Structure 1
Amino acid sequence: MQLRILSSFLLLVCLSVSRSLFAQSFTDPGDTDELAAALVAAMSDEEALAQTFMLGWVGAEPSPLIMDWIRDRHIGGVKIFGWNTGDTLRLAETVGTLQQTALAGKLKIPLLVATDQEGGWIRHVKGATSETPGNMAIGASGYPRDAYLSGYYIGRELALLGINMNFAPTVDIYTNRASTVIGPRSFGNDPVRAGLLGAAFMKGQQTAGVIATAKHYPGHGDTDLDSHGVLPRINADFDVLWDRELIPYRILARENIPAIMSGHLSFPNTQAGSAPASLSSWFLQDILRGRIGFRGLVITDDLMMNGATAWAGSLSQAAKQALLSGNDIVMLSKTPSLWDPVWTSLLASMRQEPAFRERVQDAARRIVAVKLEHLRGETAVPYVPNLAKVEAGLPDPEGSRFFLDLAARSVTILKGKEDVKNVFPLTTERAGKVFLAGQYLDFFSAGRAAYPGASAYWYTSEPGAIEEMLSYARRADTVIFCLSDAEGLGVLRSLRNLGKRVIVFSVLSPVYLDQVSWVDGALAVYSYAPESFVAGFSSMLGRIPAQGQLPLQALPGDGRPGS
C-alpha cells in the first residue's frame, strides 16, 4: 500500500516536471518561474536573444521590417512613439496585428507593447486619449489617491489599445531648477513623497492591468542637460544619491514594481566612474539588484540616444555592454535591418562567450516570467483590442471627470492672496479691462470664458511683436500673462513698468516665478491640458479654492515667486 502511494506520488512529480521541462507554449499551465525556464530552454540562441529586443518603427502603419523582426526573429517587445499614434483606432488595429503575428510563433509568446504615457507633458499616445494634469500637479495636490487614480485611468486607456507596459511613473527628483528635460514630469523635490506617489501611481496602473516602469534610474533630475543629445555628468557622490535620488527606487523595489528603466547618465564621483549608469554593472547589479534588492526587469532608455552610443563607441557595443551590465531589455527607437551589427555581433558573442550566452538566457527568463505573470488571465490587457470599446472608451469618461478634479485640487496661488495687495479673487468687476498674453489656444479660450470681452495676443520675443503686445497692454487694467519657459520670462519683463496690474498664470514648471517678484499676483498649474487652464481661471475668479502647495518646498524661495 505504501509502495503504491509512493509510486503515485513519484509519478505525479515526474508528470509535473515533465510538463515544465517540455513546455509547448506560453499558454501551458504551471509555476511561473518553472514555465519561464522551460520556455527559454526550448528556445534557440536567436529566439532567446530576440526576447531582449524592444524595437520602435516609424509611421502609423507597422513597417515591413518590424513585421519581419516579429515574425522571423520573435522579438520580445515593441515601443510605441508619438509618431505612431495620430489615429487612435489605427493604432489599436496595429497593436492587434503585431500581437497576432507574435502569437503565431511556435511558443505563442506575446509582445510587451510599451509606450511613454506619463501624464501631463509627456503623452506619446495622443489621438483620443486624455490630456492630464501630470506628475507635478499630483505633487501639488499631495494626495496618494490622486497618484493612484492617475495611474489607473491612464492605464485603463492604454489597456483598451492593447498597450500592456507603460514607462511611468517618472520618479526623478526636481533637484536642479534649470532642468528643462524633467521639470513638471517630476512629482517635486521631496524624494520620500516622490517614492510614495510613484508607488501609488504604479498600483493604479497595475489595477488597470498595465506593467509599470519607473524611470530614469538612478535619477535625471540633477542636470540641465538632455541625455538624448549628450551624456550628462552629475557630480553627486553615492551618499547623496542614496539619500536623495535613490529613495524612490528603494520604496518602489519594496513594493515590487515590475520594471525599471536605466538612464544614460554619468556619475563620475561614484564607483561607476565615467560610464553611463545604463551601462554600469555597479549601478545595475551591485546597487539596484544587490543593495536595493530589485527583482524585476531592467530596460534601457533608447540606446540610440547619444548619451549611450557616444560613450560605448557604437550601437552594437552599447547593446552588448547594456546586457552584460544587467539590463534585460535593450530598447531601440528605430528598427535596424535584420542583419545589422547590433544583431549579428550579439549573436556571435552568444555563441563564442558562454558567460554572455548565460546572461542573455537569464534576461530572457526574467522577461518571459514577467509576461507570464502580467499578460495572462482575466485582468490582462487584451492582445487584440476591441475597436468598438476603443471608440466608446476614449477618452475615459470617468477619467475625464477625475482629471478635472485633480487640476482643480492642484492649482497653487503663489502671490496675491494674503499679501498687501490681496489681488485674488480677481472678479470680473475688480479686473476691469483684461488683456491676455500667451502661447496656448486653451489659455485664451479659458481666459475669455472667465473674463468676457478680454483682448488677447499670441506673444513672441521679436522686438516688433513685443511693442505691439505693449500697445494692447496699455489699454488694459489687468494683464494676465501665461508663462511657461525662459523665452516668455524675457517677454514678461517688458510689462514691468507699464503701471498695470500684472498677473502671471504659470504652466508647466513654476521655477521661472522666482525671477518675477514684482508681479501683482502669481498662480501655478502644471500642465497645458485644457482642464488645467479652466481650473486655474476658476481659482483666479474665486469660484473654487486654490488648494495646491508648491511641491518644491526644500528649495530657496518656495511659497513665493522668488526675488
Structure 2
Amino acid sequence: MQQIKHGGRRPRPSSAPTIIAAMLCVVALVAAGTAWWMLRPQQKDALEHLAQPQSSSSTLNRDKAPTPKSQEHQKAADDSPAAKASRAIATMSLDERAGQLIMAPMFAGGNPADLSALISTRHVGSVVLIGNWNNGTAAAKTAADALQSYAPSGNQLIVSTDQEGGQVQHLKGSGFDTMPSAVAQGQMSADTLRSSAKTWGGQLKQAGINVDLAPVLGTVQVKRSSNAPIGALNRDFGLDSNGNAQHGIAFVEGMRDAGVGATVKHYPGLGAVTGNTDFTTEGILDTTTTLDDEEIGAFNTTIKQAKPAMVMMSLATYQRIDSSAPAAFSSKIIDGTLRGSVGYDGVVISDSLSAAAVSGIATKDLGVRLVDAGGDLACIGDTSYVTPILDGIIARAQSDPAFAKKVTASATRVMTLKYQMGLAK
C-alpha cells in the first residue's frame, strides 16, 4: 500500500475546482428539469397509450411470441389432412406420386396377387372391384385385405366399386342387400334414401370397400329408352334436376354416415346423349348442354352441399361447352368450371380410360390428358392399360416441369382424401 506523505495528513485540495464542479451540477439539474417539463406531456401520452388495450393488428402484438393457445391453433392447422398430404408428397419420388394417380381394376374371380407388383413396386394407390362379385361380404373382404397387404401400412389403398343399385351392383351375395334401381331410390323420401344408403354403405365397409362410385346424377333430357348410358338402365333417380340433387345429397351423406366416400358421376351429365361411352364412339356428342343447364345444376348443387369424396368425369364431348375434347380431358370443364366456378377442390376421377369413347387416343396419353386438364385419378377398366398410362404420366412429367407440378397437385389431392378417410398416416 502506498504511504501518505506530509506528516500523515492528506493535502487540502484547491477550492476552485470544487466550485466549478458544483456550478456544473446546478446547470445540469436545471437543464434536466427544463427537459422533463417540456417532454412530460408526450411521455404522459405514451404511458397512457401503453396502458390502453392493444388491437390484434398492433405492432406490439405482432412482435409478441405466440401464446400457448395460438401455438395449439398452429399445430392443429399443421395436422389438417391437406397439410399432412403436402408433407407426405414432399417425401415421394415422381414414380410414387404418379402411382397415386392410378386406379387399377380387380376382376371378380381374379387373384389379388396379380396386382401385387403394380401396388408394391409401381406404387399404384387405388383399385376398383369390377364384375360379378357374388360371394358376399366375406369374399370381397378377403380380396380387399389381400390388396391392402401389398400397399405401405401408412398409405393404404382406395378400394372402390360401382354399387349403384338395380342393374349396376357389382357386389352381391350374403351380407349385401339387393339394392333397388336408382329410379326406385328416387321414389323414396330423401331421409329414407339417406338411411338406406347408410345401410348399403355399412355393407361395403364390412367388405373392405371405402369408396362407392355412385350416385349417377344425370338428368335425362331425351326419350329414356334412347338414352343408352343412363335412362335405358334406370341408373338416374328419374326426377328433375332439383329432385336429383336432393336425392344425390341424401345418397352421398348416407354413405358418409357409414364411413364410405361417394362419387357423383358423370360430370357434367350423360342425360342428353344416346350412345354409351363404355361401348361406342357413336352418339356421344352432346349438342345441347350448356354450363347453366338444369342437368349440370344437379351436380353443382350436390357438390356444393354434400362435398362428395370424388367427382367422376364423363367421356362424352359437350359441343356448347368445349367441343375440342371429352369432358375428362377438358380444362375448361374441370379447371374452369368444376374447380373454378363451382369451387370443388377434391379428387376428380375419370370414367374408365379403357372405354370405347377414348379408344382413338394413344394409351400412353390418356392419363396425361386427364391430369393436364386438372383431373387426378385415372380409373382403368383393363389391366393392360395400367402400365402404359402410368409410364406416360411419368415420361411427360420428366420432360415438362409445368406438368410435373400438376402431377404433384393431383397426388396431393388424392393423399388429402386418404388422410381424410384414415387410409394414410
- TM-score (normalised: structure 2): 0.77
Distance 1:224 1:351 in 2: 40
The match for 2:143 among 83, 94, 104 is 94
> What is the correspondence of 1:274-285 to structure 2 with a 5 Å cutoff?
274-285=324-335
Match of 1:148 in 2: 194
The alignment partner of 2:103 has SS state of: strand
Structure 2 contact 151–157 (Cα < 8 Å) conserved:
yes
Match of 1:349 in 2: 396
Change (3 A) 1:237 1:87: closer
The match for 1:53 among 78, 102, 119 is 102
Change (3 A) 1:203 1:59: closer
Residue 327, structure 1, aligned to residue 383, structure 2: no
Match of 1:480 in 2: none
Distance 1:229 1:348 in 2: 29
Residue 215, structure 1, aligned to residue 215, structure 2: no
Superposition deviation, residue 61 in structure 1: 3.9
Distance 1:33 1:49 in 2: 18
Aligned residue type for 1:223 = V
Match of 1:263 in 2: 314
Aligned residue type for 1:101 = Y
Match of 1:244 in 2: 294
Residue 358, structure 1, aligned to residue 405, structure 2: yes
Match of 1:420 in 2: none
Distance 2:324 2:385 in 1: 31
Change (3 A) 1:247 1:51: same
Structure 1 contact 265–307 (Cα < 8 Å) conserved:
yes
Residue 371, structure 1, aligned to residue 422, structure 2: no
Distance 1:175 1:237 in 2: 9
Aligned residue type for 2:115 = I
Superposition deviation, residue 8 in structure 1: 9.1
Change (3 A) 1:82 1:59: closer
Match of 1:452 in 2: none
Residue 182, structure 1, aligned to residue 206, structure 2: no
The match for 2:285 among 233, 241, 254 is 233
Change (3 A) 1:168 1:337: closer
* Comparing 357-366 and 60-69, the one that deviates more: 60-69
The match for 2:162 among 106, 116, 140 is 116
Aligned residue type for 1:375 = G
The alignment partner of 1:224 has SS state of: coil
> What is the correspondence of 1:398-413 to structure 2 with a 5 Å cutoff?
none
Aligned residue type for 2:185 = I
Distance 2:422 2:181 in 1: 27
The match for 1:131 among 173, 178, 194 is 178
Distance 1:207 1:341 in 2: 37
Distance 1:257 1:58 in 2: 25
Aligned residue type for 1:361 = T
The alignment partner of 1:130 has SS state of: coil
Match of 1:490 in 2: none
Match of 2:38 in 1: none
Superposition deviation, residue 171 in structure 1: 0.7
Superposition deviation, residue 242 in structure 1: 2.0
Distance 1:367 1:85 in 2: 30
Structure 1 contact 60–90 (Cα < 8 Å) conserved:
no
Number of positions where the alignment pairs a residue of Structure 1 with one of Structure 2: 354
Match of 2:58 in 1: none
Residues 404-457 of structure 1, C-alpha deviation per residue, up to 9 Å, x if partnerless? xxxxxxxxxxxxxxxxxxxxxxxxxxxxxxxxxxxxxxxxxxxxxxxxxxxxxx
> What is the correspondence of 1:401-480 to structure 2 with a 5 Å cutoff?
none
Distance 1:84 1:350 in 2: 37
Distance 2:131 2:163 in 1: 10
Change (3 A) 1:224 1:337: closer
Residue 38, structure 1, aligned to residue 87, structure 2: yes
Distance 2:247 2:112 in 1: 38
Superposition deviation, residue 342 in structure 1: 2.1
Root mean square deviation, CA, Å: 2.7
Structure 1 contact 150–204 (Cα < 8 Å) conserved:
yes
Distance 2:66 2:194 in 1: 51
Match of 2:212 in 1: 166
Change (3 A) 1:176 1:330: same
Q: Which runs of 5+ in 2 are unaligned?
A: 1-60
Superposition deviation, residue 83 in structure 1: 4.3
The alignment partner of 1:73 has SS state of: coil
Aligned residue type for 2:287 = N
Distance 1:84 1:291 in 2: 39
Distance 1:320 1:111 in 2: 22
Structure 2 contact 363–385 (Cα < 8 Å) conserved:
no
Aligned residue type for 1:82 = G
Structure 1 contact 151–201 (Cα < 8 Å) conserved:
yes
Structure 1 contact 279–322 (Cα < 8 Å) conserved:
yes
Change (3 A) 1:158 1:7: closer
Distance 1:148 1:224 in 2: 30
Change (3 A) 1:98 1:194: same
Aligned residue type for 2:364 = S
- Whose radius of gyration is greater, 1 or 2? 2
* Comparing 119-128 and 213-222, the one that deviates more: 119-128
Distance 1:85 1:360 in 2: 37
Superposition deviation, residue 180 in structure 1: 3.1
Structure 1 contact 61–94 (Cα < 8 Å) conserved:
no
Distance 1:224 1:124 in 2: 24
Structure 2 contact 354–385 (Cα < 8 Å) conserved:
no
Distance 1:189 1:6 in 2: 58
Residue 291, structure 1, aligned to residue 317, structure 2: no
- TM-score (normalised: structure 1): 0.59
Q: Which runs of 5+ in 1 are unaligned?
A: 21-29, 378-563
Distance 2:158 2:368 in 1: 21
Distance 2:200 2:115 in 1: 26
Distance 2:206 2:327 in 1: 34
Structure 1 contact 215–260 (Cα < 8 Å) conserved:
yes
Residue 224, structure 1, aligned to residue 267, structure 2: no
Match of 1:435 in 2: none
Change (3 A) 1:247 1:16: closer
